Structure 1
């Protein structure tokens, strides 16, 4: 298979994992709302416990894979990270989502597993995450706004980059399920390698500033 096919597979994996991420966020929102509304302690424990399991074994791996494939597509194609406002907006939103999901929402969800109703802040945060994912989907379809800058338009990365973009997150998901917690190690390595390649290409293609007249 050529570069185009592997790039299409990377886009397909990005779309599938992004939809899965949003679907699991909605599932979490539903379970947390049930846990908040129910007066039965057993139902609250069951709902929040199930939400925690979904967050650990489904939402987190899908979020990691979605973010990785999105970043990789920006780093490995002419789209880049800061050439278009809609791409830059998706990049910024994804970073906020990863930070909020890993350091805020997951911890709050773990603390809420018990007889007490889940806090409204956790429910609101989960709703915001699902809404942000829906907004990012619209950005990908509509591609609104103008370019941020013209800048250097880099060529598409070689085939091996997109092969790694497909197999790295799938491998990480498999390893994470075996370990019992998400571990996107291989995806991070592939992304760092491509970012270094991209940086070198930018340095090579950067126009040289002509020397000034001699004094």
Structure 2
């Protein structure tokens, strides 16, 4: 929110004074700071929902309401469906490192934003987790 206020202040300054420098600084702030923060925000949101049992805040709020209201009984198979394996430490590290790698990639290599590591992390982790969960499940004896 503070970055949006900074953009507002810069554009208002240029609008009121007629000085184009405020617009140029707002453009610089938007393209070199806010863009990367938005990419990091998207990645952390996706990975938070992938690495935790309940996902993002709206689902957590819904779960909190369910735990208080208890509108129905708990089913015996509910725990098996809701168990999500604890992410490995390297996954958490990669989630935190991916936005920084994307920033370096954008600034040093491409010269424009490219959330490559964020995309690979957000796509690769659910696939890796599904393989891990599938291998850990006991197979029925026939």
TM over 0.5: yes
The residue number in structure 2 matching 1:23 is: 2
Q: Which runs of 4+ in 1 moved over 6 A?
A: 201-206
Residues 44-193 of structure 1 mapped to structure 2, 5 A cutoff: 45-81=20-56, 86-88=57-59, 145-147=61-63, 152-178=82-108, 179-193=110-124
CA, structure 1 residues 160+79, in 2 after alignment: closer, same or farther (shift >3 Å)?
Answer: same
Structure 2 residue ranges without an equivalent (≥5): 67-77, 138-142
Where does the alignment leave 5 or more consecutive residues of structure 1 unmatched?
A: 1-21, 89-142, 207-215
Distance 1:194 1:66 in 2: 17
Structure with higher RCO (Cα < 8 A, 6+ apart): 1
Q: CA deviation at 1:175?
A: 1.7
Aligned partners of 1:152 and 1:202 also within 8 Å:
no
RMSD: 2.8
- Highest CA radius of gyration, 1 or 2? 2
Shift of 1:176: 1.4
Residues 174 and 23 of structure 1, relative CA distance in 2, 3 Å threshold: farther
TM-score by length of 2: 0.70
State how many pairs are aligned. 122
Give how far 1:200 is off.
5.2
